[in-house]
Every structure is written in C-alpha cells, then in structure tokens.
Chains A and B, each alone.
Chain A
Amino acid sequence: MRARRMAVTTVIALVLASIPLATSAVHALPTASPAAADPAPASQVPYTRPVDMAPDEEAIGEGYVTPEVQRPLPRSVWWQIFDLALLAAALGGAAWIVLSRRSRAAALALTVGCLAYFGFFREGCVCPIGSIQNVTTAIVDPNYAVPVYVIATFILPLAAALLFGRVFCSGVCALGAIQELVLLKPIEVPRRLDRFLASFRWIYLAVAIGFVILPAASRDFVICRFDPFVGFFRFTGTFHMLFLGGAFLVLGIFVGRPYCRYLCPYGALLSAFSRYAWKSVSITPDRELDCGLCSKACPYGAIEEMRAVRTSCLSCARCYGSCPVHRPAEPAGAQPRGSAAA
C-alpha cells in the first residue's frame, strides 16, 4: 500500500517536474538560425590562393618589420594545480572543522573564504556541479578530452563525501556558500514535502545528462545555463540568470539553501555517496537528551530522531552549538563509526 502510494507520488512528481523544466528548457533553447545560404558552390571547392603574395617586408621598404600578432595564452596550468590544492585543503579543513573542531564560527569563516575565492575570484568555472557534464561528455564523446583538473574537481568532493560526508556542501561550494550567508530566518519545510522536492535533484541530474549525451551540435550544458549564482560571481549575466539568482537568494532567506536541497544534481550524487561515509556528523554520540534542540537548530531538516541524516546533512555545524550537553572540540578519536546515524 505504502509502496504503491510512493510509486504514484513519484510518477506524479516526475510528470509535474518535467513540464516546467522541459518547457523552459525548450523555450529558452537558442533556435539555431538556418545555416547561411551558400549561393556559390565555392564552399565545396578547396580554395587555393597564392599564399605568399602578401607584400613582403622588402617590397614595403624602409626597414618595415611585419608586426607579430599577439595571441595571449589562457591561464597557466599552475593556477589549476593551485586551485586543486586549495580545493583539497578546503575539503579537509571543512571535515576537520565540522567533525572534529565542531565550531560554527570556523565553518562560517571557511564559507566566506571559499565564496570569496572559488566564487568571486575564480568566477565559478569549472565547478564540481558543472563538471558532471564535462565528465559525461568525456564518456560519451570520443572527440572530447576532458582536462585533468576537471576530473579532479569532479572526484575530490565525491571522495571526501565517501570519507567525511557532505563536507563539500559545508561551505566549500561557492553556490552553497552564498545561500548559506543569506539564510536569516529559516522556516521548517514539512518532511514529506522536503523529500518530494529533493527528488527533483535526480530529475535535474537526468535532464542534465540527457542534454549532454545529445550529439555535439545540440549538446547543451543546462546546469551551467541555469546556474543561478554565477551571474553574481561575474558581476554580469543575462537577465534570466540574474533573475533566477535573485529569486533563489530571496527564497533562501527563509528556506534553507533551496538550490542545494532540491535542485543540485551534484548534491544528489553527494547524498548517494555520503550514505557510506566513513565518518560523519554526530552531535552527541552517547548522551542524547531527546530535547530536540538540535533538530530545531538545523535549518535543513537533516536531523531525524536526534541523529544527523548523512545524506541530507550539509555539514554547517549549527547543531553543535544548540546542544546543552555537547562538548566542543572532542578529541578526534572519541567518535565512533557513524553507524548510529541513519
């Protein structure tokens, strides 16, 4: 009975979700104008031109020297190595802050720092969320070779999730960080609605992968296209991106991190991986009082039965401060394996 209700709900959710996504995607897809008409068949002719017939320096005379054409190179590979090192350090730092140090203040500081660097300084590209598309393209398209650092950007937060839970979401992700900072008056989302909306992440992931496995000419990176916050990071963007971003931020004042919980496709992957995390958030392993203060403090509805739900805990470290018996800065070895959390 319950399984059937869940199936029906899922189907309705899929249908409802697909309508707005599909219509907005199709509507906003660039309609490729028909290729410029070729009035002359010369396009099929290998055109030969006497290539060295441009006047040479001797003909121009008076010591003229042909100027070099400046072709600036893109950023050097050292930047990528640096970025990856910072990403790894931030992930490790988040794990330490949230699991060992357990300090909300430190988590906040990390959030601000990562937002400043990965968000406003690096302007967001290529982020782990978008890297899903690059990795998928590399798998399906033999002509596309993905850069090493994009692979690393895809894998590092997932590996961290396997080890420490969703520490990437803690504050390392720039999109999460910006939503984290505007969360001022969190309201609680009813659990069933929360679960229902969270399934949209998987639908978005499927849609994104669907658009990527199209042939190269019609391939579109929809995660990047509907990225709400990159317009703020670049201080420029199309109207629909800035509007979407603004709407998410306004919503995010009241609903905790709506993009992260209900739309982020990478978050869907992270939640799947963090299910098997080696260590994860546990508030008071041995001495819960059943007071419920921690679940009230959690703005993301990630605490059930006094235990942090690994798959939805965004490692924000707010819960520790609300617990009356929590002792901050537990020695790292005092944590048992996180098997108690659901």
Chain B
Amino acid sequence: MSYRLDRKLAGRGTGESQFRAELRAVACDGERQWYLAGDQELEVLTSDGRLVNRWATGRPGWSVAIDERQRIWVGEPGQIEIFSAQGQLEDTWRSTELFRLVTALAVTPEEVFVADAGSRWIHRFDSDRRLLNHIGDKHRKGGFHIPSGVLDFALDRDATLVVANPGMHRVERYDPDGTSRGHFGRFGQQDPAAFPGCCNPTNLALGPEGEIVVTEKAGPRLKIYDRDGVLSEVVADSATFDVACKNMDLAVDRDGSIGVIDTIALDLAVFEPKMKPGAISAEGVAP
C-alpha cells in the first residue's frame, strides 16, 4: 500500500499538546491514541491530535509501550516506570546494570523485552521480572553496534524480535532465546533500498501485515520493507523531516497509520495509507 503525509500533531511550543525541548518516543494503543514521551512528560493524544492526558515522568522518557492491560510502560535512564491508563504511577522497576538507557520496550502477557542502549543488548524477562536471557550476546561481543545511541526493535506476531542494527546497516531477526533468524540490508548511499551513512536504520516498527517500517537519519527517511526485506516504498524524506533529525521513533497503529517523531520540530508526522489495510498488528499492542 502507499502512504501520504496526512497531518502533524503536537509541535514545538508551549501549547497544551506541544513540547518545549525534546520529543523522544511514540507508541500507539488499540484505540489509535498516540503516546508521546518528551520533556520528562508523557502525553496522550487522540488520533487527530487532541490532548487527552498529560503527566510528568520521573526521568526523561526514551521509549513507550502499551501492555495488554492498557498500562503504559515508559523506559528511562536507569528504570522503567509503569503507569495506569489514567496516568497513575503504579510501579517503578529499577536496575542500574540492565537499564542504563531503555530505548525500546515490548510487553506481552508472558514476557517483557527491554532494549538497553547502554549494554547494547535486549534483555528478556518473564512476567515475574526474572531475567531469562539476553538477545544480541551470542553472535557478537559487546552487543549490537549502535553508534547512533539507540537500540530499537519490534515484536512480531510470531514472537520474533525484529531488531535494527544500525552499525551493520541491517535489520536482524531473533528468536526470543537469542537465536539468530537471519537479516537483510546493506550499506549504500545511492540505492534507496540500502541504508546510507554511518549507522542506519535507527528506528523500526512493524506494520499491520508484518511489513517493516524504518526511519533513518542523515538524509532522514521513512521507508517500508516487506517481510522478506525487499523495499516496498520510500514514504518520506528530508522534504518532510528536519534535516538534522536523528533517532526518530515511530509507531504504527492497528489500521496502518504511521506516526513518526521529528526530533527537531518536536511534532508527530502521521502518514495514512491511501487504502486502509485489513489485518491488525502493531508495535506495542499485545496480540
């Protein structure tokens, strides 16, 4: 399917849905609401940008995820905070070793996956918060190569982790126990299907049909690949995003709308498919 830029939500400023200095992470829930983490706060916006709720987080939020009980998990430096759907802080999960900088989260009823940019691994916990294994340590010493500073991944419907490995210019797949399931992607500056620059793709999300949506920096782009790693579309480039953007988090809602953060303009660019999809599955939503 083909996408077009539909609208931009939030923005830089002091308005009620706007951010002042930073905007780092976005997630989407089953009701197509957007959850934006920035300025040490979390905002909940409706699909067309109206502010529903807004509350402060303990530390600057670097990632957001919604679990099956509609709780909001916010990954921060050193901890993960879990809020109720109304914004009450329910729990704080601290770990200085494992949660140096939590840049991506995925929560299922049985497991929690935490991507830590500090140790450059993805940690897998069970529902009692016991560490089961790391992903990324079997095949490489020192974890994923993330010169860009964030480690991003998405959980596929069949419980495969799809991880962006920017330093090696590829997207990799892993089983939850850490076994590699292959990868696609290569370096290239001119070929639109290849990943340019020193470290791309920086962020990643999965579409409703399992397609892989990535954002890149330094020549910011939003691209969609199909399940086999073949480029299906370059949705947007530096005409839409600020040229200096880096680490643009994104989320896809159950109808296929893609929300991408512009880290300089502090807004959420929402891309709508020109035709609506049939299936449902999106980053952060429990199947």
Contact = CB atoms under 8 A, between A and B. Distances in A.
A and B, direct touch (CB closer than 8 Å)? yes
A53 B142 contact: no
A61 B141 contact: yes
A68 interface: no
The binding surface of chain B is classed by DSSP as loop
Nearest to A43: B244
Contacts of B148: 53
B142 A61 contact: yes
B143 interface: yes
Interface size class on chain B is 20 to 34
B243 A39 contact: yes
Interface string A278-298: 000000000000000000000
B117 interface: yes
Interface string A123-141: 0000000000000000000
Contact of A45 (B120, B141, B147, B264): B264
B266 to A, nearest CB: 9
Interface in B169-206: none
Contacts of B150: 50
Interface string B234-267: 0000000011101000000000000000001100
A41 B242 contact: yes
Contacts of A61: 141-142
B142 A60 contact: yes
Nearest to B119: A59
B142 A42 contact: no
B176 to A, nearest CB: 23
Interface residues of A, number: 18
Given A40-B243, A40-B264, A42-B242, A55 B142 contact: yes
Interface string B5-47: 0000000000000000110000000000000000000000000
Contacts of A76: none
Interface string A63-103: 00000000000000000000000000000000000000000
B118 to A, nearest CB: 8
B146 interface: yes
A59 B120 CA distance: 9
B149 interface: yes
B21 A46 contact: yes
Contacts of B143: 59
B101 interface: yes
Nearest to B146: A53
A41 B264 CA distance: 8
A49 interface: yes
A49 B245 CA distance: 11
Contacts of A32: none
A236 interface: no
Chain A CB within 10 Å, residue with most, of B143, B145, B243? B243
Chain B CB within 10 Å, residue with most, of A40, A45, A49, A53? A53
A45 B22 CA distance: 9
Nearest to A54: B147
Contacts of A52: 118
A52 B117 CA distance: 10
Contacts of B242: 40-42
Contacts of A49: 149, 246
A42 B244 contact: yes
A48 interface: yes
Nearest to A50: B149
B244 A58 contact: no
Contacts of B243: 39-40, 42
B22 A53 contact: no
A144 B260 CA distance: 47
Nearest to B148: A53
B121 to A, nearest CB: 10
Interface of A: 39-42, 45-50, 52-55, 58-61
Given A45-B244, A46-B21, A59-B142, 9 more contacts: A40-B243, A40-B244, A41-B242, A41-B265, A42-B264, A50-B101, A50-B117, A53-B101, A55-B147
14 contacts: A39-B243, A40-B264, A45-B244, A47-B244, A49-B149, A49-B246, A50-B117, A52-B118, A53-B101, A53-B118, A54-B147, A58-B142, A59-B141, A60-B142
Interface of B: 21-22, 101, 117-118, 120, 141-143, 145-150, 242-244, 246, 264-265
